[in-house]
Amino acid sequence: MRKTIRRITAIAAAAVTATLVMTGCTADGGGGGATGSPDSGELNFVYMGDADQQKAFNALFAEFNKEYPDIKLKAVGIPSGNWATFSTTVATRLAGGQKIDIIQVATEGQRLFASKGILEDLAPYMEQDQDVVDDYFSDINPNLVKFNEEFASGPDGETVFIPGGFNTMAMYVNKNVFEAAGVPLPENGDWTWDEFVAAGKQIKEKTGAYLTGAGPSYFGDVMPWLTTNGASTFNADWSEPTYNTAAAVEAAEFARSLVEMGLAPEPGGQFDGNTAFKQGKLATLNGGRWPVLGVRDLDMVDDTVVVNWPTNTGHGSPVGWDAWNITKNSQNKQAAWTFIKFLMSKEAGEYFASIGGTIVPARESVASSAAFTDNAPEGTVRLSEAMSWATPIPSIDQGAEAQKAIEEAWGTIIAGQGDAQETLDAAQAKLESLVGE
């Protein structure tokens, strides 16, 4: 009996050890990955994409493989609801010992990944293909280059990310609803908060449609209202939260007033915005490039126009951008760089835009080309123009927790469950504690 117990214990110990080894205890890069060949090898590329977006990504990958058939690209799309969750999922996979060569990270996760020392310094690769890099950087908005340097550099200031496409926020206006209510479309795509409310009241009265949706999404609701009132959740270098300033409180109260006036549906449930848009029950859809897929599916491209977010103190929008890196653990760094070069190319940008990519192409020449504007609502180019006044979405290392605190507070206010100043004061305190960690 004692022998049996001893045997079971030995088996259990072996199994536990094996489990720990299999799961891996750390994803610490530590460097040392092989360089490999630029034309062959196996690459694991992780990106955020749901079922809709994956179709476009798969087509892009097939295009890459036409040129580089010996690079076996294993692309894994993670259908996370937001970038904070995506970053968490990728971190968990790395911790689980999964080999990843390139991670497509958005702003929300860039500083976190950059700060952990798990990404390769890209300078040597950029030097070896300086002409390609120069061509790319000369064609993208200078703000994007600046933001990438300020917010996504490695611990010692090294370049660990190449910036890719981005998203800003705008409104997709249902021309039919505006026409039925006798409301003119915003001239040159610009309107103020007051004009927005006036339009909403007339639309409500004449058609019964809601003007806009009201939600607590950090990127999609909170930041647009804050930035168009000269506020933000954090200061310029994200070192201090600024979520309870007078301007932020005013923005939150304004968002609540839209619900109180009946111009936006009560938050707290779920409804199909696209269907309501098609049925003429909703006058605007809010978003970056991504609503275009829905607008196409609804066959409403010609009935929609993209306009800027309404302003109070001046133009504003958050911006978040994709960026590509090479992990220190990669066994095929040269092949990874080949793939990044492909993603930087004009051809890839145009191809991705034309097949349904849900980002604004980084290259301005592509963003203003037919590849991006064809089969898209009038005014789509405003998404690209918004980069000139956009604020990078503040994303501290404790991004998911910060996002929760921000959205929770905003949701409380727009649902009428808390005073704006008091609620934002409490959220500010929470954010301060996170920054201090």
Partner 1 sequence: MSDNASVRRPGALLQRRRTEAAGWLFVSPAVLLFLIFVAGPFVFAIVLAFLKWDLLTSPEFAGLANFERLFTDPLLPRVLLNTFVFAFASIVTHLVFGLLLALAVNQVVSRVLGYFARVAIFFPFLISWAAVALLWKYVLDPTFGYVSQYAAMIGIDLPNFFTDPAWAMPAIIFIDLWHTLGFTFIIMLAGLQTVPAELIEAARTDGATSGQIFWNVTLPLMSPTMFFATIITFIGAFQIFDPIQIITKGGPQDATTTIIMYLYEKGFQAFDMGYAAAVAILVFVIIMGVTILQFVGRRKWVYES
Using CB under 8 A, pick the residue from 12, 198, 246, 261 that binds partner 1: 12
Asked whether 185 and 179 are in contact (CB, 8 A), the reply is no
Can you tell me the distance from the alpha carbon of 283 to that of 332, in angstroms, rounded to the nearest whole number?
50
Residue 274 burial (10 A CB sphere; 0-12, 13-18, 19+): middle
Query: Pick from 159, 369, 412, 428: which binds partner 1 (CB under 8 A)?
Result: 412
203 is a site residue for partner 1 (CB under 8 A): no
Distance in Å, CB of 202 to partner 1, minimum:
20
404 binds partner 1, rule: CB under 8 A: yes
Least separation in angstroms between CB 78 and partner 1: 13
Specify the residue, 355 or 415, whose C-beta has the smaller distance to partner 1.
Answer: 415
**What is d(CA 305, CA 2) in angstroms, rounded to the nearest whole number?**
79
Choosing from 15, 34, 62, 198, the residue that interacts with partner 1 (CB under 8 A) is 15
What's the DSSP call for residue 392? E
* Contact residue for partner 1 among 1, 2, 5, 25 (CB under 8 A): 25
Is 28 near partner 1 (CB under 8 A)?
yes
Asked if 386 and 319 touch (Cβ cutoff 8 Å), the reply is yes
The answer to the question of residue 204 lying near partner 1 (CB under 8 A) is no
Could you give the 3-state DSSP secondary structure of residue 300?
Answer: coil
Q: Which of 145, 400, 429, 435 binds partner 1 (CB under 8 A)?
A: 400
By CB under 8 A, name the one of 78, 185, 415, 429 that touches partner 1. 415
Stretch binding partner 1 (CB under 8 A), from 42-50, 126-134, 262-270, 341-349: 262-270
Shortest Cβ 212–partner 1 spacing (Å): 13
Binding mask 86-105 for partner 1 (x = CB under 8 A): --x--xx-xx----------
Length of the chain: 437
Give the nearest distance from C-beta 382 to partner 1 in angstroms.
29
* Residue 379 near residue 306, CB atoms below 8 Å: yes
Cα distance between residue 15 and residue 13, in whole Å:
5
Stretch that binds partner 1, among 153-161, 306-314, 375-383, 408-416 (CB under 8 A): 408-416
Q: Judge contact between 129 and 341, C-beta under 8 A.
A: yes
Question: Shortest distance, CB of residue 363 to partner 1, whole angstroms?
Answer: 31
Q: In whole angstroms, how far apart are CA 425 and each of 128, 222, 431?
A: 50, 16, 10
**How far is residue 305's CA from residue 398's CA, in Å, rounded to a whole number?**
37
Residue from 9, 10, 20, 123 that binds partner 1 (CB under 8 A)? Answer: 20
Q: Which stretch binds partner 1 (CB under 8 A): 174-182, 233-241, 308-316, 404-412?
A: 404-412
Residues 6+ apart with CB under 8 A from 191: 199, 307, 308, 310, 311
- Contact between 62 and partner 1 per CB under 8 A: no
- What phi and psi values does residue 90 have, to the nearest 5 degrees? -65, -45
In DSSP terms, which residues pair with 47 in a beta bridge?
A: 77
Query: Is 131 buried (19+), middle (13-18) or exposed (0-12) by CB count in 10 A?
Result: exposed
Nearest to 93, CA basis, from 70, 120, 74: 74
Per CB under 8 A, contacts with partner 1 among 270-299 are 270-271, 276
Cα–Cα distance, 146 to 376 (Å, whole number): 29
Question: Which segment (10-18, 135-143, 145-153, 169-177) binds partner 1 by CB under 8 A?
Answer: 10-18
Is 356 a binder of partner 1 (CB under 8 A)? no
Name residue 191's amino acid: W
Mask for 114-153, x = binds partner 1 (CB under 8 A): --xxx-----------------------------------
How many residues at the interface with partner 1, by CB under 8 A?
Answer: 41
Phi/psi of residue 189, each to 5°?
75, 10
- Three-class SS state of 40: coil
- Return residues touching partner 1 (CB under 8 A): 11-12, 15-16, 18-20, 23, 25-28, 84, 88, 91-92, 94-95, 112-113, 116-118, 265-271, 276, 398, 400-401, 404, 408, 411-412, 415, 417-418
